[in-house]
Amino acid sequence: MSQAEVTPPRPVVEMRDVSITFGTVRALDQVSLRLLPGEVHALMGENGAGKSTLIKALTGVYTIDSGQVDVDGVETQFATPAAAQHAGISTVYQEVNLVPNLTVAENMLLGREPRRLGRILRREMNRRAADSLQALGIDVDPTSELGSHPIAVQQLVAIARAVDTDARVLILDEPTSSLDADEVARLFEVMRRLREEDTAIVFVSHFLDQVFEIADRMTILRNGRVVGERMVAETTQLELVQLMIGRDLQALERIDHAAQEVAEAEETGEAAAQRLPVLSAVGLGRKGSLEATDLTLYAGEVVGIAGLLGSGRTELARLLFGADAADTGDLSIEGSSRRRLRSPRHAIDRNLAFCSEDRKAEGVFEELSVADNMLLGLQASRGWLRPIPPATRATLVAEFMTALDIRPADPSLPMRSLSGGNQQKVLLARWLITEPDVLLLDEPTRGIDIGAKTQIQQLVVDLAEKGMSVVFISAELEEVLRLSHRLVVLKDRRKIAERPNVDISVNDVLEIITGEPGGLAEKERVDA
């Protein structure tokens, strides 16, 4: 065998012993990373492990304190993300960072528009955008306004924009968090093509099955340090998870067992006989969003909402919270006369709380401190003329920072300095501080690592055991089945099934959704 055959290719990018400190927090501690041409490299770790910081150190968002970055063997420090992109390093972040009031084509070629004599050639721009979208298999009109499309389509447009730059290094930070199975498969086809063209791809994802399907090599971070670099084919999922979180996975088994016990009690009627409804919705609906829907919530119960993208899951939660106005139906809260909620403030006054799936647009105030973000819900319920006493503020913040294991443990930091998973925990704390009777959680674990996901799942179980009523929405059917005592299935913006979560599998739920004969789909027809 020749020397050329055994010598690995020179890294396109090599980061060596890179360290970054924010105040007293050591975000990266002598981290090294190699990106080889023609390889998909997964960057793994819990939220707060340092993945996003490492990406931003490479692309010029952050300046490194020590260490070295080599691009094609030459030491390089990018002053701006634009400089990194000019050098062929392009990034697509988890939160879509495009301009919703511009067209798809304008977003894809923003700053790179074809021009003649200073004038933008719009026909050429639209044609080029259409070609890039077609290569991805995305059926979107390039002249349509980006904001008119759902988040999943906007995510695909952001990826198409990055691919259009002819990147030598493509960094995908949670690119599949808003995509359905077909869209993920389409993205993976593009990634494989780019890999064959010797593009180095960084893939950040909390979906382990996706990592093992598409990635060649992985680097695992924990608490800002590298704990391993492995070939994916030589690593099991169990080994990877243990490296990421530094502990075993018995917590998930305890969650499964606790939810199953309550669900079995539901089926026998023992639990329902001892409880009164906390909330009852009768014929609740909104034209174009959700057909008239009935739903009853009991104290101490987790109701899982299952359905595919566009099935009406989020629309149901928003109607229950008053974030969208219902056209039909009424709500009864703890036996009150039936009415509709006029606004989220109306819902908060009646002890309802709602964590939106779009935490960036509808939850996080990036420039405010962690403490201020955490206390917004309580302050809103008190009214802005009655500020929270300083001692109460300090006590509540300290209690929930510890209870939810929010990291870094410094409530004075701006919210933008936290990872996505820790921001999600702050939003959960915001609502838990208000002591709600009903908690509506829409994709609370999307884009969150398995360690933080387990913590949030355990929190949901604990809250239900203490008597709270929880509505849990997730695109991951396994997660819905793990946590819920009762299952509600939506399809095409209407409820098609509801039953206790006893001996239900993912395949059973898919049978209900697709309407194929057999399994629970047949049982639902018999019950009806």
CB 395 within 8 A of CB 371: no
Poorest-confidence range of 44-48, 404-408, 432-436, 488-492?
A: 44-48
| pLDDT score at 519 | 42
Reading the block at residue 48, the tokens are 């707060």
Which tens digit of pLDDT belongs to each residue from 135-146?
877 889 999 999
Rounded Cα–Cα distance for residues 379 and 29 (Å):
38
CA atoms within 13 A on the CB side of 52: 19
| pLDDT score at 525 | 40
Highest mean pLDDT among 73-77, 454-458, 511-515: 73-77
| pLDDT score at 298 | 94
Rounded Cα–Cα distance for residues 107 and 44 (Å):
29
**Is residue 219 classed as helix, strand or coil in its secondary structure?**
strand
What is the band of 47 on the pLDDT scale with cuts at 50, 70, 90?
low
Which tens digit of pLDDT belongs to each residue from 418-432?
877 788 889 889 988
Report DSSP state, residue 338. Answer: P
Which tens digit of pLDDT belongs to each residue from 84-110?
988 889 998 777 778 999 999 999 998
Report which of residues 336 and 153 the model is more confident about. 153
CB 40 within 8 A of CB 209: no
| pLDDT score at 338 | 58
Q: For residue 373, is pLDDT > 70? A: yes
At position 268, the amino acid (one-letter code) is T
| pLDDT score at 262 | 56
What is the band of 275 on the pLDDT scale with cuts at 50, 70, 90?
low
- Does the pTM surpass 0.85? The reply is no
| pLDDT score at 517 | 47
Beta bridge partners of 228: 220
Full set of structural domains in the chain with CATH:
3-245 (3.40.50.300), 249-351+437-459+469-528 (3.40.50.300), 359-435 (no CATH)
| pLDDT score at 207 | 80
Report which of residues 291 and 183 the model is more confident about. 291
Measured between its terminal Cα atoms, the distance across the chain in Å is 69
What is the band of 527 on the pLDDT scale with cuts at 50, 70, 90?
very low
Which tens digit of pLDDT belongs to each residue from 141-194?
999 999 888 777 888 888 888 878 778 999 998 888 767 777 788 888 888 988
Reading the block at residue 293, the tokens are 């829907």
| pLDDT score at 350 | 87
What is the band of 205 on the pLDDT scale with cuts at 50, 70, 90?
confident
| pLDDT score at 422 | 85
What is the band of 369 on the pLDDT scale with cuts at 50, 70, 90?
very high
Evaluate the omega torsion of the peptide bond into residue 390 and state whether it is cis, within 30 degrees of 0: no
| pLDDT score at 254 | 55
Q: For residue 195, is pLDDT > 60? A: yes
CB 393 within 8 A of CB 412: no
With a pLDDT cut of 70, the percent of the chain lying above it is 88
| pLDDT score at 244 | 79
Q: For residue 528, is pLDDT > 50? A: no
| pLDDT score at 259 | 58
| pLDDT score at 404 | 84
Mean pLDDT, all residues of the chain:
84
Rounded to the nearest angstrom, the gap between the alpha carbon of residue 89 and the centroid of all alpha carbons in its chain is 24
CB 358 within 8 A of CB 426: no
Nearest alpha-carbon partner for 50 in 134, 173, 189, 133: 173
| pLDDT score at 246 | 65
| pLDDT score at 59 | 93
Give, in degrees to the nearest 5, the angle at Cα 334 between 328 and 335.
Answer: 75
What is the band of 288 on the pLDDT scale with cuts at 50, 70, 90?
confident
Strand pairing report for 25-35 and 13-22:
antiparallel
Separation in Å, CA 276 to CA 21, 284, 296: 52, 20, 10
Rounded Cα–Cα distance for residues 146 and 105 (Å):
9
| pLDDT score at 169 | 94
Give, in degrees to the nearest 5, the angle at Cα 34 between 33 and 36.
Answer: 155
Report which of residues 122 and 276 the model is more confident about. 122
| pLDDT score at 526 | 37
CB contact set of 344 (below 8 Å; sequence gap of 6+):
321, 322, 323, 354
Q: Which residue matches tokens 């063997």?
A: 73
Poorest-confidence range of 262-271, 302-311, 395-404?
A: 262-271
What is the band of 2 on the pLDDT scale with cuts at 50, 70, 90?
very low
Which tens digit of pLDDT belongs to each residue from 224-269?
899 999 999 999 887 887 787 665 445 555 555 555 565 565 554 5
